[in-house]
Amino acid sequence: MTARAATLTLLVFFAATIGLFSLFTPRLMTASNVENLMSGFSFVAILAIGQSFPILLRGVDLSIGAIVALAGMAAFDLALIYHVPGWLIIPAALVVATLAGALNGVLIVFLRLQPFIATLATLGAYRGLVFTISGRQLVPGLSTTPIRDPWITGLETYFDLGNALSLPNGVRLPQFPLAFFVMIGLLIVFQTLLARTKVGRDLYTVGGNSEAARLAGITIGRVTIAAYAISGFCAGVAALLLVAKLTTSTEALGAGMELTAIAAAVIGGVSLAGGTGSVIGPAIGAFVLGAVLIGLTVLGVSQFVQQILTGVILLAAISYDRLLGPRRRTRLAASSARQA
């Protein structure tokens, strides 16, 4: 199955999911629920886009949730303790997150650690660092103080495209959050990076066959560090969007998001065997998960059952990826032979 065919299949599955839930509750696709889907899962899609890069290299980044918390707390401290203007906080938080992601790559490359072990260790280390620098702990009075910097709060802007249309009374189109457009922008940038640049070709080559990539003169260490840095950068973007939404940051920000991002990436067709996938699929996969969870919420299913079903969906996606793994490797080998 080509990447385009896989994307179309995923879109059909997304539409079928919405259609199935709509049979049981006509309230699913209201304007407010569509807004909740875009607002609540655009940052999940951004995390899934970032998670795709380590997975393309047969790795994984378990620390992205902790990096979200680290970048969020850095923004919190800079805004409320040091009173740094928002136009400096945004790049500073992104630098913190990108460096945290790059450190994962450095540990994997230079200490020769397995990605699972390296990022599991940094997950704990970054969470501990979040508590260490927590402005909510250092200055308890700030725990109830919102961030009011317009550069930060402006990230929670909504665009009412329905104003440009003459709609009948009582008809309302969903408003589009800025987070959704940020996600679309990142999707275009990183898909172009993968599909049109040497960096993208190197990522696919290293993920498909690292030994062949080494013999071809590709610097595997540099590619690996870049992949984890991109994952960290996306976690930083998600952190800023969450901080804008909450007008604060907590020590638990981002907890558990790594599993949701992995699930979205695998559902989106990024193979755990490496070398196969794009960033379009993971973004759609995030909204598939979102549609399922919102549908279950509208049906009155408890949050605990939703967590169980999320785990079941992840298990099914991984099992499906395992079944397709040999066929994908055969196609990669045939493609490499033709190019040779």
Residue 317 forms part of a structural domain: yes
* CA–CA dist 168, 146 (Å, integer): 38
Residue 120 forms part of a structural domain: yes
pTM of this prediction? 0.91
- What is the per-residue pLDDT across 201-228, written as a single tens digit (0 to 9) for each? 999 999 988 888 998 899 999 999 999 9
Q: What's the alpha-carbon Rg for the chain, to the nearest Å?
A: 20
Q: Looking at residue 250, which CATH number applies to its domain?
A: 1.10.3470
Close Cβ partners of 203 (under 8 Å, ≥ 6 residues apart): 53, 56, 57, 194, 223, 227
Close Cβ partners of 299 (under 8 Å, ≥ 6 residues apart): 21, 24, 25
Element containing residue 176 per DSSP (H, E): strand 176-177
Mean pLDDT lowest among 13-17, 86-90, 129-133, 197-201: 13-17
* CA–CA dist 40, 62 (Å, integer): 21
Residue 165 forms part of a structural domain: no
Residue 208 forms part of a structural domain: yes
Number of domains in the chain: 1
Give me the torsion for CA of 81, 85, 86, 91, rounded to 10°: -90
Q: What residue numbers bound the domain in which 30 lies?
A: 3-156+176-334
Residue 57 forms part of a structural domain: yes
Mean pLDDT throughout 116-145? 94
Residue 124 forms part of a structural domain: yes
Confidence tier at 300 by pLDDT (50, 70, 90): confident
Residue 163 forms part of a structural domain: no
- What is the per-residue pLDDT across 228-285, written as a single tens digit (0 to 9) for each? 999 999 999 999 999 999 999 999 999 989 988 998 998 888 988 888 889 999 999 9
Residue 188 forms part of a structural domain: yes
Close Cβ partners of 138 (under 8 Å, ≥ 6 residues apart): 81
